Structure 1
Amino acid sequence: MASECRILVVDDEQDLRKHLADIVRNAFADDSSRSLFSRMKSRLSGLVSPSAKETGAKTSCVVDCASQGKEALEMVKAALERGEPYSLIFLDQRMPPGWDGVETMAHIWESDSDAQIILCTAYDDSAWREIVEKKACQANLLLLKKPFAVAEATQMALVLVNKYEHLQNSRMTEAERLMASSVFEALPSMLVLASPDGIVRKWNAAMASFSRRSSEDACGKLLWDEAPFLKDCRKDFETVLQTGQSKNLRAELFAGGEDKHLDIVITPLSSGDLHGAIFRVDDVSVAVKKDEHLRQAQKMDSVGNLAAGLAHDFKNIIGGVTGTSSSIRYSLDTEKDPAKLRRDVGNDLEVIEEAANQGTELVKQLLALSKKQEQPFASVDLKEIVGKVMKICENTLPRCVEKGASLPESPAMVTAYPTQIEQVLLNLCINASHSMTIMRGEGEAEKGGLLAVGVEQISVGRNLAETIPDAHEGNYWMLSVSDTGIGMSKDTIDKIFEPFFTTKQQGVGSGLGLSMVYSIVRQHKGFLEVFSEPGVGSTFFVFLPALETESAST
Structure 2
Amino acid sequence: MSISASPRRRILIIDDNPSIHQDFKKILSATEGTTSLDTLETAIFGSPQSRSGGAYAFEVDSASQGEEGVQFVQEAARDGRPYALAFVDIRMPPGIDGVETTSRLWKADEDLQVVLCSAYADYSWEEVAQKLGINQRLLILRKPFDNIEVRQMAHALAQKWDLSRQSRRREEELAQAVAARTKELEATHARLRQELEDRAKLEAKLALSQRREALGRLASGMANEISSPLGFVSTNLNHLRLALEKRPQGAPLEEPADLLDACKDAIEGTDRLKRIVQDVKLFARVGPQPGVPVNPRKSLNEALDKAVPALGSRIQRMLELQDVPQVLASEEGLAYVFLNLIVNAAQALPQSHPEPRVRVSLSEKGSDVLIEIQDNGSGIEAEHLEHIFEPFYTTKPGGSGLGLSICHSVITGFGGDISVDSTPGKGTTFRVRLPKAP
Does the pair score TM above 0.5? no
TM-score of the two chains, using structure 2 as the length reference: 0.38
Higher relative contact order (CA 8 A, sep 6+): 2
